[in-house]
Amino acid sequence: MTLPPRVALGTMHGKEVAIAPPLAALGITLHLAPIDTDRFGSFAGDVPRAGSMVEAARAKARAAAEATGLALGLASEGAYGPHPHVPFLPLGQELLLWLNIATGQEIIEVMTDDRPCYDQQFISSATEAEAVLSRMGFPATGVIVQTAPGLRPIAKGITDRAVFEAALEQALTTEGRALVQTDMRAHLNPRRMTVISDLAGRLALRLATPCPVCAAPGFGRLRAVPGLPCRDCGIETTLIAAEIHGFTACGHETALPRAGEADPAHCPYCNP
């Protein structure tokens, strides 16, 4: 198994700090690609993301490889929003995609963060700001000030108290309230950087795993298959029944079945 010496990373947000070390341990050097990653979608909402997280990451990885002339591109993509099952809690998802332009081989690693630094609140006075800023971890975490969701921010990437106060003043003067949000760009969100770092460690582990058939590096989890049977009635539930491990270049796949049966609480028949 031989690992490639170089991979291109498209980022404007300092993600190399989190991604480079675990790859360097394998002898792989990151080359920063000078591409405007915000054109693939931005967190401030001024550029909507085209397509899914995977599609956006794939486009970024390809652009990074092309900009540097390297055969391999790497891109990171994050999505943050309300937790789908728990009211009032946020949920974050981070994805790292490794793309070999020549072979089409992709390695995708994903990680969920159930305690992300993702937060927003309307405030109507400067005194209300203190509790909100401290909850968000300001100034290590950068913040955005705007007057309403979806509107162009008055200021973003704020890590300076005087800049924050000026932006707040402007919002309060014009609209009587300000929407303060965490800036989700990686270099302004230390929590996000930690998760990306863990994800890069997972990618490195995977790169160190050769395919049992073709011996190329990067064998690992491709997807999960639902259908774990219910303990009471045997019907297939939505719980994961097997993980499919494989390699996208040679097409080799192995199913790793999950032992056990599903609790009837998850059964569409026993607990509709």
With CB under 5 A as the contact rule, which of the stretches 104-112, 120-128, 180-188, 243-251 interacts with Zn ion?
Answer: 243-251
Q: Residue 244, interface with Zn ion (CB under 5 A)?
A: no
Q: Residue 165, interface with Zn ion (CB under 5 A)?
A: no
Figure out which of the listed residues 24, 214, 255, 256 binds Zn ion, where binding follows CB under 5 A.
Answer: 214
Q: Which residues does residue 80 pair with via DSSP β-bridges, in sequence order?
A: 92
Figure out which of the listed residues 49, 62, 177, 252 binds Zn ion, where binding follows CB under 5 A.
Answer: 252
Figure out which of the listed residues 40, 43, 138, 247 binds Zn ion, where binding follows CB under 5 A.
Answer: 247
Alpha-helical (H) ranges within 34-182 are: 53-68, 126-136, 161-175
With CB under 5 A as the contact rule, which of the stretches 58-66, 88-96, 103-111, 260-268 interacts with Zn ion?
Answer: 260-268
With CB under 5 A as the contact rule, which of the stretches 28-36, 81-89, 147-155, 242-250 interacts with Zn ion?
Answer: 242-250
Q: Residue 266, interface with Zn ion (CB under 5 A)?
A: no
Q: Which helix (H) or strand (E) holds 77?
A: strand 72-82
Residue count at the site for Zn ion (CB under 5 A)?
A: 14
Angle between helices 190-207 and 16-24 (to 10 degrees): 20
Q: Report, in Å, the least distance between residue 252 CB and Zn ion.
A: 4
CA–CA gap between residue 57 and residue 46 (Å, rounded): 18
Say if CB 164 and CB 138 are below 8 A apart.
yes
Q: Residue 207, interface with Zn ion (CB under 5 A)?
A: no
Alpha-helical (H) ranges within the chain are: 16-24, 53-68, 126-136, 161-175, 190-207
Figure out which of the listed residues 20, 208, 213, 222 binds Zn ion, where binding follows CB under 5 A.
Answer: 213
Q: Residue 265, interface with Zn ion (CB under 5 A)?
A: no
Q: Report, in Å, the least distance between residue 198 CB and Zn ion.
A: 26
CA–CA gap between residue 236 and residue 199 (Å, rounded): 31
Q: Residue 100, interface with Zn ion (CB under 5 A)?
A: no
Three-state DSSP at 214 gives coil
Say if CB 267 and CB 232 are below 8 A apart.
yes
Which residues contribute to the site for Zn ion (CB under 5 A)?
211, 213-214, 230, 232-233, 235, 247, 250, 252, 264, 267, 269-270
